[in-house]
């Protein structure tokens, strides 16, 4: 990793944590841009995130640690010995990770958050980062809102990562605010349920300029939640079909709600039990979450989720015309006003690698595809 020079933009003092891994760094970047004037921050946000991608990105059994990467993999004392992620920090096969490319396309410094040593180790890592960087505040961002999961929601699918991050911040004893960006956009807890849980929580609404900070990543990254959040910020309203289910895009979808750590913990059953048990490994944490929710995330993430759109064929490239593609997509999304690009790709028998080519064919440069 090259040394920082005077030409490098400075990093903001607050530490952001992308609570769910996956695409949460994308939505966290938008949130950080919206918060920057209020927080008195300047420069690139510092975002700690899991290397924990979906099975179609990473076929291995769980989140990646520093030893799962090659290239510049030295822990950096400026960041509490956390691993800074760069475009040259590449996963060792067969592991996969979207983080190197996100490091290139997001105006943020990404740090690897490692849960493999259990809750205490993760909390200690967060504390080291805040001490080393002088971060006066931790801003824990979840895109969608399953960080407020009770654990018994029928549509819940990935509670562990968010619960670990929430519990680790509590155990680390750092001043923390929890942010819910785009309530309901992750399809895990219905928006109407989340709005009841948020109650009188305050919110802010990012601007189109804030959403533009993630435009480069959203051009290729298959994150539906962050894309729907960004689309709502751009003014999209209606009904969107995602890979899992159909959801509303409303004014609330464009907002970032914030609440204090204790209030978030009062909702998250898994996080409270993690604090009680202090699991020493990720497997122990996953077992505990499974007993509470019936979802064993280290196993479930390796299986296709129920409700996914089945591919109709397996072509090697998108259809030859935009009209042909749109006709096939509309047939799979009756009554929807918009679809995510992962949904559109699956409807055409394609995978995430085809999304940039599909966008080019459709002439689409928006976070989600309009069917109007």
The pLDDT assigned to 12 comes to: 67
Q: Are residues 104 and 235 in the same domain?
A: yes
Answer whether residue 255 shows pLDDT above 50.
Answer: yes
Residue 338 and residue 236 in one domain:
no
Of the three residues 277, 305, 333, the one that is the final residue of a domain is 277
The model's pLDDT over 113-161, given as tens digits with 9 standing for 90+, comes to 999 999 999 999 999 999 999 998 999 999 999 999 999 999 999 999 9
Whether 25 and 115 share a structural domain: yes
The dihedral region occupied by 144, where left means phi > 0, alpha psi between -120 and 50, and beta the remainder, is: left
pTM of the predicted model as reported, rounded to 2 decimal places: 0.92
Please give the sequence-ordered ranges of beta strands (E in DSSP) within the chain, or none if there are none.
Answer: 11-18, 44-49, 69-70, 84-85, 90-91, 109-112, 138-143, 176-181, 202-204, 238-241, 246-249, 256-260, 338-339, 369-370
In this model, does residue 70 exceed pLDDT 60?
yes
Nearest C-alpha neighbor of 167 from the set 106, 121, 215: 121
pLDDT at 257 over 50: yes
pLDDT score recorded for residue 120 = 97
Q: At which of 249, 277, 305 does a domain end? A: 277
Is 348 in the same domain as 221?
no
Q: Is residue 146 part of a domain?
A: yes
Q: Is residue 32 part of a domain?
A: yes
pLDDT per position as a tens digit, 150-160: 999 999 999 99
**Maximum pairwise Cα distance, the chain:** 57
Residue 257 lies in a domain: yes
Q: Are residues 269 and 326 in the same domain?
A: no
Residue 272 and residue 168 share a domain: yes
Give the residue from 291, 289, 260 showing the smallest Cα distance to 274.
289
Find the range with the poorest average confidence among 33-37, 297-301, 361-365.
Answer: 297-301
Residues 334, 196 within the same domain: no
Q: Domain of residue 359: give its range.
A: 322-370
- Domain count of the chain? 2
Are residue 196 and residue 89 in the same domain, yes or no?
Answer: yes
Q: What's the whole-number mean pLDDT along residues 90-97?
A: 94
The answer to whether residues 50 and 117 belong to one domain is yes
Of 34-48, 291-305, 350-364, give the lowest mean pLDDT range. Answer: 291-305
Same domain, 238 and 343: no
Strands 338-339 and 369-370: antiparallel
- Both 114 and 242 in one domain: the answer is yes
SS3 state of residue 306: coil
Q: 102's torsion region: left (phi>0), alpha (psi -120 to 50) or beta?
A: alpha
Whether residue 219 sits in one domain with residue 327:
no
Residue 296 lies in a domain: no
Last residue of a domain, one of 277, 309, 332: 277
Q: What pLDDT, on the 0 to 100 scale, is given for residue 2? A: 36
């Amino acid at each position: 990793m090259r040394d920082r020079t005077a030409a490098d933009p400075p990093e903001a003092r607050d530490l952001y944590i992308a609570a769910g891994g996956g695409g949460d760094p994308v939505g966290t970047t938008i949130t950080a841009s919206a918060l920057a004037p209020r927080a008195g921050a300047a420069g690139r946000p510092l975002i700690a995130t899991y290397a924990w991608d979906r099975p179609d990105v990473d076929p291995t059994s769980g989140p990646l640690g520093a030893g799962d990467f090659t290239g510049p993999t030295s822990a950096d004392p400026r960041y509490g010995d956390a691993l800074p992620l760069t475009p040259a920090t590449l996963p060792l096969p067969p592991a996969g990770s979207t983080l190197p490319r996100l490091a290139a396309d997001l105006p943020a410094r990404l740090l690897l958050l490692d849960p493999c040593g259990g809750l205490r180790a993760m909390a200690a890592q967060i504390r080291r980062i805040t001490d080393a960087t002088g971060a006066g505040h931790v801003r824990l961002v979840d895109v969608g809102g399953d960080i407020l999961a009770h654990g018994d929601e029928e549509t819940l699918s990935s509670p562990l990562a968010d619960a670990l991050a929430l519990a680790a911040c509590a155990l680390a004893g750092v001043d923390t605010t929890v942010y819910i960006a785009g309530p309901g956009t992750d399809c895990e807890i219905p928006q109407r349920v989340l709005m009841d849980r948020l109650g009188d929580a305050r919110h802010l609404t990012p601007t189109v300029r804030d959403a533009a900070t993630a435009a480069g990543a959203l051009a290729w990254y298959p994150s539906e939640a962050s894309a729907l959040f960004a689309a709502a910020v751009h003014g999209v309203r209606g009904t969107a079909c995602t890979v899992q289910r159909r959801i509303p895009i409303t004014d609330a979808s464009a907002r970032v709600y914030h609440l204090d750590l204790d209030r978030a913990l009062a909702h998250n059953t898994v996080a409270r039990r993690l604090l009680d048990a202090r699991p020493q490994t990720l497997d122990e944490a996953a077992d505990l979450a499974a007993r509470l929710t019936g979802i064993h995330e280290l196993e479930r993430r390796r299986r296709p989720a129920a409700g996914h759109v089945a591919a109709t064929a397996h072509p090697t490239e998108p259809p030859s015309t935009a009209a042909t593609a749109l006709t096939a997509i509309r047939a799979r999304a009756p009554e929807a006003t918009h679809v995510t690009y992962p949904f559109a790709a699956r409807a055409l028998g394609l995978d995430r690698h085809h999304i940039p080519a599909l966008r080019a064919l459709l002439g689409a440069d928006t976070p989600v595809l309009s069917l109007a």
